[in-house]
Amino acid sequence: MLKTQSAGEPAAATSVAQYDAVVVGAGFAGMYTLHRLRQAGLSVRVIEAAPQVGGTWFWNCYPGARVDVESLSYSYSFSPELQQEWSWKQAYAPQAELLEYADHVAQRFDLHRDIQFETRVVSTTYSAELDRWTVRTDRGDRITTTYLIMAVGCLSATNVPDFPGLGSFAGSWHHTSRWPREGVDVTGKRVGVVGTGSTGIQAIPVLAEDAGHLYVFQRTPNYSLPSKNSPMDPERERDWKANYDEHRAFARMSPTGSNIGLLRDISALSVSDAERSRIYEEAWRIGGSQLLRSFNDIAVDPEANETAAEFVRAKIRQIVRDPDTAELLTPRDYPIGTKRICLDTGYYETYNRDNVTLVDVRSDPIEEITPQGLRTSAEHYPLDVLVFATGFDAMTGPLLEMEVTGRDGLALRDKWAAGPRTYLGVMTAGFPNMFMVTGPGSPSVLSNMTTSIEQHVDFIADAIEHLRASGAARIEPTVEAEDSWVEHVNEVADRTLYKRANSWYLGANIPGKPRIFMPYAGGVGTYRQVCETVVAKGYDGFALQ
């Protein structure tokens, strides 16, 4: 049966259907894409693996999960009414509140009827003959579409390291991004956490409160700043609601898409030691990531960066009572800010608890998981619960988990074998009418992602509207434009300190993954201007036919 669906018609499950647009993913990106494309009069089907909207904020329901950008800023800006009616309860919303928000948005804009949940896209194939994509799902659906929008997220493909013996573990083990919705009772239990990235740093203080004993298996220490989360200040909320336009305009043109701009346009090295300490101390007291924006050269000058890094190291020594533990927690071999900065609530303080032990798995690596626990090269740790806060196959992982085949049978996996190649992070040559929201080569994970998501979705929706208005059937970047963008992304990264850390930005966390700096480090505002210029020049760098 071939079924053509028109805009507004309910999304009944069919085995073959045709749409103007298929969107993969119903996180913040997929939800807004649906809204925009529906407004443009397209028939749209969203396919989502989860049973509900929210993406990241559905999957990551581990204890302590919370946003690292103020919620007033980490939220949709496209609807003034939505901004006015929604009230955040906390300055940095916890996962449950963000999920509630996502659900509210879906209800308010009537999104559910065009989303097919609990369905995973397994392949997408372009036919030049039909000028359409065929999308296949794990439920056996076959859907054809003119436009394919990958809103699969940058951090949705989980990474569980291949530890020998994991299958034999007699206790329960969980990746933080697949945390059981009913929770995990760790009361009085021996709990092991592997990983001290943003996730581990959020989960560890909360797990420590209930665990009988918590073992933290740390390979690389991270820099973490206090979020100083608090209940929403009514005065602050009133100010934002009265001035949302200005706040959003600021974020859109700022380097990070957020509302913390550069605090001083001077070098960290241009002030006295005492003055610099006073400035960092004040940023630490206020909380959030603004310590990194205290001066204009922390991200680019190693010596300036070292002043901020050393300030945080001193804080660790001040907070953590045991000097050996403090030393182990101290990052020394990469600059601060070259991995996404962690924000915490009581992370370093947690190591002062009697029921918490930090285990160095850099010097004594994890050798195996046994039925009773975890063995390092030095010791066996009996455990009841094992938590993997081991991150994601970031940016390319969710796209390459599917079989994506473009023109002339070109597989995305093959095209990207040596690393992702895109134009503006939004399209890749050889894959006509296939768009990526916050793809590799866009600011994405270096930003407040709600700002980046809206900008990308607007770019994509505008491009589709332009195609339809001009009668063009397809859009695709030229190879030349793509090559020069890839080169530019690299050049910009080389001007920063990012490549000095073994981070997931570079794919360094996944064995065998090409080591390429994936996001665009030129800043959200600059990137927006580039996109606007591309459009003003008639989609410069794209071929429209």
Q: Dihedral of CA 431/433/437/441: which sign?
A: positive
Quote the least distance from Cβ 370 to ligand FAD, whole Å.
29
Tell me whether residue 161 or residue 346 sits nearer to ligand NAP (CB atom): 161
Number of residue whose CB is nearest ligand NAP: 197
Q: Which does 74 bind (CB under 5 to 8 A by kind): ligand FAD, ligand NAP, none?
A: ligand FAD
At 305 the three-state DSSP class reads helix
Q: Which does 258 bind (CB under 5 to 8 A by kind): ligand NAP, ligand FAD, none?
A: none
The residues near 12 (Cβ < 8 Å, ≥ 6 apart) are none
Quote the least distance from Cβ 447 to ligand NAP, whole Å.
10
Tell me phi and psi for residue 194, to 5 degrees. -100, 120
**Ramachandran assignment for 46, one of left (phi > 0), alpha (psi -120 to 50 degrees), beta (any other):** beta
Tell me whether residue 42 or residue 184 sits nearer to ligand NAP (CB atom): 184
Q: Which does 449 bind (CB under 5 to 8 A by kind): ligand NAP, ligand FAD, none?
A: ligand FAD
Quote the least distance from Cβ 86 to ligand FAD, whole Å.
16
CA distance 401 to 71: 31
At 137 the three-state DSSP class reads strand
Q: Which does 460 bind (CB under 5 to 8 A by kind): ligand NAP, ligand FAD, none?
A: none
Tell me whether residue 64 or residue 406 sits nearer to ligand NAP (CB atom): 64
Give the DSSP per-residue string, 43-56: -EEEE-SSSSS-TH
Q: Which does 151 bind (CB under 5 to 8 A by kind): ligand NAP, ligand FAD, none?
A: ligand FAD
Tell me whether residue 98 or residue 191 sits nearer to ligand FAD (CB atom): 98
Tell me whether residue 373 or residue 397 sits nearer to ligand FAD (CB atom): 397
Quote the least distance from Cβ 250 to ligand FAD, whole Å.
16
Q: Which does 29 bind (CB under 5 to 8 A by kind): ligand NAP, ligand FAD, none?
A: ligand FAD
Cβ of 235: how many Cβ atoms within 10 Å? 8
Element (H, E) at 524: helix 524-536
Q: Which does 25 bind (CB under 5 to 8 A by kind): ligand NAP, ligand FAD, none?
A: ligand FAD
The CA–CA distances, whole Å, from 387 to 60, 161, 210, 242 equal: 13, 12, 14, 43
Contact predicate 285/488, CB 8 Å:
no
Q: Could you list the residues that contact ligand NAP (CB under 6 A)?
A: 66-68, 155, 161, 194-200, 202, 219-220, 340, 343, 361, 366, 389-392, 445, 504, 509
Task: Select from 433, 533, 530 the least CA-distant residue to 23.
Answer: 433
The encoded tokens of residue 25 equal: 């993913």
Contact predicate 44/37, CB 8 Å:
yes
Quote the least distance from Cβ 92 to ligand NAP, whole Å.
8
Q: Could you list the residues that contact ligand FAD (CB under 6 A)?
A: 24-30, 47-50, 55-56, 60, 65, 67-69, 74, 120-121, 151-156, 199, 398, 402, 437-438, 448-449, 453
